[in-house]
């Protein structure tokens, strides 16, 4: 009986140390892999679609006049891949999102579409980088899921790969009254994959635990017909080629930085 009491008292002395060890272990498990014990946070990227350099209102199924070509254009569909998202710090440090594949779909009067990027490590970021399109490896990786699923109707076949963006609609300037741009292609000389890095100027995106900062980008939906391209001349694209790469060059220039919310 005395031996039992002695052992019991020994456990009582050890209990505080056990509790401290357990709490420390839990703390280590909760640092989300950042190595500094700070929890990651989500970042929202807002794509605010407008019309022309003055960012006039834009909406699907609404007749618009192109500021350069003076052609009447009505969009019925606008979808595009935003992939391989990166956030850059001023010191050159880069955070890259894993499995970074999303589709932006503009619908009805909702000209602002949002993407949520989870698990961003804490820090101050000075730029965002992303791809419009799907990288070559995933173009040739067979049947896939999520945004890359063929069920999204953004896929041609295993040889030509994904449709990087679709712009469809109506225009009296087109010979048949319609336009349809299905832009893709990942092989030279008609590689339509485009990447842009958008700097925040003097502003910094502050990512801290439990925050949800946002990046507000403006998108000029009239940029398809930039540089003298007329819808009357180029109104249908359904395969990789020189017209597709020209439209891809125009579209990547549609994205520009507006402001941050921290």
- Give me the tens of pLDDT residue by residue for the chain, a chain 262 residues long: 444 444 444 444 444 444 443 444 433 443 333 434 468 899 999 999 999 999 999 999 999 999 999 999 999 999 999 999 999 999 999 999 999 999 999 988 889 999 999 999 999 999 999 999 999 999 988 778 999 999 999 998 767 899 999 999 999 999 999 999 999 999 999 999 999 999 999 999 999 988 899 999 999 999 999 988 999 999 999 999 999 999 999 999 999 999 999 9
- The maximal CA–CA distance of the chain, rounded, in angstroms, is 102
Using the 8-state DSSP alphabet, how is residue 29 labeled? H
Global model pTM greater than 0.95: no
Whole-angstrom distance, CA of residue 47 vs CA of residue 76: 18
Query: What Å distances lie between residue 192 and 44, 80, 148, 252, CA to CA?
Result: 26, 13, 17, 10
Q: Give the distance from CA 81 to its chain's centroid.
A: 7
CA distances 238 to 71, 81, 175, 199, Å, are 22, 17, 16, 33
Say whether 16 sits in a helix, a strand or coil: helix
85, 98 Cβ separation under 8 angstroms: no
Residues 257 and 10: their CA atoms lie apart, in Å, by 64
Planar angle of CA 63, 64, 68, nearest 5 degrees: 150
Give the residues across from 79 on adjacent strands. Answer: 105, 166
Q: Is 19 helix (H, G, I), strand (E, B) or coil?
A: helix
The CA R_g of the chain, rounded to the nearest whole Å, is 25
- The three-state secondary structure class of 154 is coil
Rounded Cα distance between 94 and 76, Å, is 37
Return d(Cα 180, Cα 55) in angstroms, integer: 23
Q: Show the tokens assigned to 45.
A: 């990227």
């Amino acid at each position: 009986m005395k031996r039992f009491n002695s052992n019991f008292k020994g456990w009582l002395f050890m209990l505080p140390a056990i509790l401290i060890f357990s709490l420390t272990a839990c703390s280590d498990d909760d640092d989300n892999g950042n190595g500094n014990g700070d929890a990651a946070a989500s970042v929202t990227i807002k794509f605010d679609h407008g019309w022309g350099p003055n960012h006039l209102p834009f909406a699907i199924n609404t007749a618009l006049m192109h500021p350069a070509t003076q052609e009447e254009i009505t969009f019925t569909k606008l979808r595009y891949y935003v992939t391989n998202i990166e956030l850059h710090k001023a010191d050159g440090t880069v955070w890259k999102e894993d499995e970074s594949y999303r589709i932006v779909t503009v619908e009805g009067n909702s000209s602002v579409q949002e993407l949520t990027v989870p698990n961003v490590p804490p820090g101050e970021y000075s730029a965002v980088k992303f791809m419009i399109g799907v990288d070559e490896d995933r173009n040739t990786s067979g049947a896939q899921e999520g945004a890359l699923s063929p069920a999204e109707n953004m896929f041609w076949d295993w040889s030509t790969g994904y449709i990087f963006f679709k712009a469809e609609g109506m225009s009296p300037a087109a010979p048949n009254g319609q336009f349809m741009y299905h832009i893709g292609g990942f092989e030279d000389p008609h590689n339509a994959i485009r990447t842009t890095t958008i700097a925040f100027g003097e502003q910094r995106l502050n990512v801290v635990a439990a925050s949800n900062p946002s990046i507000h980008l403006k998108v000029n939906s009239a940029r398809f017909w930039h540089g003298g391209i007329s819808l009357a001349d180029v109104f249908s694209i359904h395969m990789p080629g020189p017209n597709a790469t020209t439209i891809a060059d125009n579209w990547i220039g549609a994205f520009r930085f507006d402001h941050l919310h921290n």
